[in-house]
Amino acid sequence: MKNQVQLITYVDRLGGQRDGADLVRLKRLLCEPGAPLAGVFGGVHLLPFFHAIDGADAGFDPIDHTQVDPRLGRWEDIKALTEGLDVMADVIVNHMSAESPQFLDYSEKGEASAYAGLFLTLDAVFPDGASEQGLLSVYRPRPGLPLTYATLKNGERRILWTTFTAAQIDIAVHHPQGRAYLSSILRTFADNGIRMVRLDAVGYAIKKAGDSCFMMPETFDFIGEFAAEARALGIEVLVEIHSYFQRQIEIASKVDWVYDFALPPLVLHAFSFGTAAALKRWIDIRPANALTVLDTHDGIGIIDIGADASDRAAHPGLVPPEELDALVDRIHDASQGQSRKATGAAASNLDLYQVNCTFFDAMGRDETAYLLARALQFFLPGVPQVYYVGLLAGHNDMDLLARTQVGRDINRHFYGDDEIARDCERPVVRRLIELIRLRNRHPAFGGSFQVEPSGDEALQLRWQQDADWALLRIDFATRAHELSFSGVGGARETFAFS
């Protein structure tokens, strides 16, 4: 993976028209000389582009994970995109659509189906019966049990394991059918030039009676096995887990890459409370093989800096619980209450651990603070990713939220070509693009990193390679700041945030 900033985007929500040429348009936007975003990014994470992109969870419930949705284009278009950019794609490990051919065959034939073992049922996990305590011990990121009562088309009744929604049926990943299904996805990706995958929802992939069914030792074993299979095909692996921060550190030793999901709430905490103390503690222990993000297609994680729910006293969070609660309220206030309408019980597809809001609105649309947050992200060790809405300093899409009543859609705007061109001329977006180019091109970022001494209210980060250097200083109490770097001939240059 190149040490350059990557873009995270849906193919159809950044200048798309769903007419079969969206992948071609995206390549033109990112690669064609003269296009607004030409040459800005070293790679792109394409959010689910599989058949179909408009299911129950915006493509994260694929009917056919090995088919490009024809409204976006073809595999040939993906392969063409990989010629100029690193391309990452999702392997949705935990589940597939209830409309998939495999599940429809199972529904029609029951135990006579060739796919009978592919889908998890309650008795597959609890063969001796499930006790109340056994079910209560299962961790789920949403209210209720991860189970759906279903009558199959052949009249048989089953209790299906559905971690997220009734439309997303969990896979038995250790069953021969489950292994074959996941392996076929990896092979298809490798054949079409994809060299990075994100394991979506992999923390829930292994189920075990009497346990949490989330990030257990058996889950770590599975992640290691699947990552080894991917590497054998020349594919790097990113693991997507929202959980207690120590889990990220543990996972990082087993895979190529993890997300730094603690960073977004810690950055907001630093600006909100005028202190870098919690952020510094995290920088001191965070894994270096991280993809740094401030925003993604999901919400802003709160669980990632909170205490471990299994034992809050023994495993405290990166910030005290009262400050975590206050931070959530301050995000709601900064967004003029809009995030409150998209978070928790206020909207469907709700999460217990995330605040749904664009990062720009979570920062109260303060352009200088927003650019400082991006600079901080780019200065931390790892590979930065910028979500397409964040790239364009996007606002909460309240119209889309009202239409879908899906909380995460507040941060999943559909941009047309004219809107992209117009937003790329906004000063905050122009400066962000300049900041991305600086991060991609300056040789200091290929050298050594250090946190220089400062008080709790401030953060000072330095990169150095031979005579080349880059320095970022932020005082969160006063908002004083500086980004300076070595220029041509060793001259000192500075970046203007406003």
In this predicted structure, what is the pLDDT of residue 242? 87
Q: Are residues 437 and 454 in the same domain?
A: no
Q: Are residues 68 and 41 in the same domain?
A: yes
- Flag whether 1 is in a domain: no
CATH number of the domain that 386 lies in?
A: 3.20.20.80
Residue after which a domain boundary falls, among 124, 144, 169: 169
Q: Which domain holds residue 208?
A: 6-91+176-446
- Flag whether 163 is in a domain: yes
Q: Are residues 242 and 385 in the same domain?
A: yes
Q: Are residues 272 and 345 in the same domain?
A: yes
- Flag whether 140 is in a domain: yes
Q: Are residues 138 and 287 in the same domain?
A: no
Could you give the residue ranges of the DSSP H alpha helices within 233-348? Answer: 245-252, 263-273, 277-285, 321-334
> Is-catalytic flag, 304?
no
Q: Are residues 184 and 124 in the same domain?
A: no
> Is-catalytic flag, 452?
no
Q: Are residues 365 and 380 in the same domain?
A: yes
- Flag whether 69 is in a domain: yes
Predicted model pTM: 0.96
In this predicted structure, what is the pLDDT of residue 348? 45
Other CB atoms within 10 Å distance of the CB of residue 284: 8
Q: Are residues 387 and 476 in the same domain?
A: no
CATH number of the domain that 155 lies in?
A: 3.90.400.10
From the number of C-beta atoms within 10 Å of its C-beta (0-12, 13-18, 19+), residue 12 rates as: buried
In contact, 37 and 440? CB cutoff 8 Å: no
- Flag whether 96 is in a domain: no
Q: Are residues 143 and 256 in the same domain?
A: no
In this predicted structure, what is the pLDDT of residue 346? 60
The token pair that represents 293 in the structure block = 């993000």
Q: Are residues 78 and 220 in the same domain?
A: yes
Q: What 3-state DSSP class applies to 494? A: strand
- Flag whether 424 is in a domain: yes
In this predicted structure, what is the pLDDT of residue 350? 43
User: How far apart are the C-alpha atoms of 239 and 236, rounded to whole Å?
Assistant: 10
Find the catalytic residue in 22, 90, 240, 323.
240
Q: Are residues 300 and 401 in the same domain?
A: yes
Beta bridge partners of 451: 461
What is the total count of domains within the chain? 3
In this predicted structure, what is the pLDDT of residue 349? 40
Q: Are residues 42 and 156 in the same domain?
A: no
User: How far apart are the C-alpha atoms of 247 and 216, rounded to whole Å?
Assistant: 10
pLDDT mean values, one per 10 residues, the chain (498 residues): 96 97 98 95 98 90 96 98 96 96 96 94 94 92 90 96 95 96 98 97 95 93 94 96 88 89 97 97 97 96 87 88 92 96 66 85 98 98 98 98 94 97 98 98 98 97 97 97 93 94
Find the catalytic residue in 200, 351, 367, 409.
200
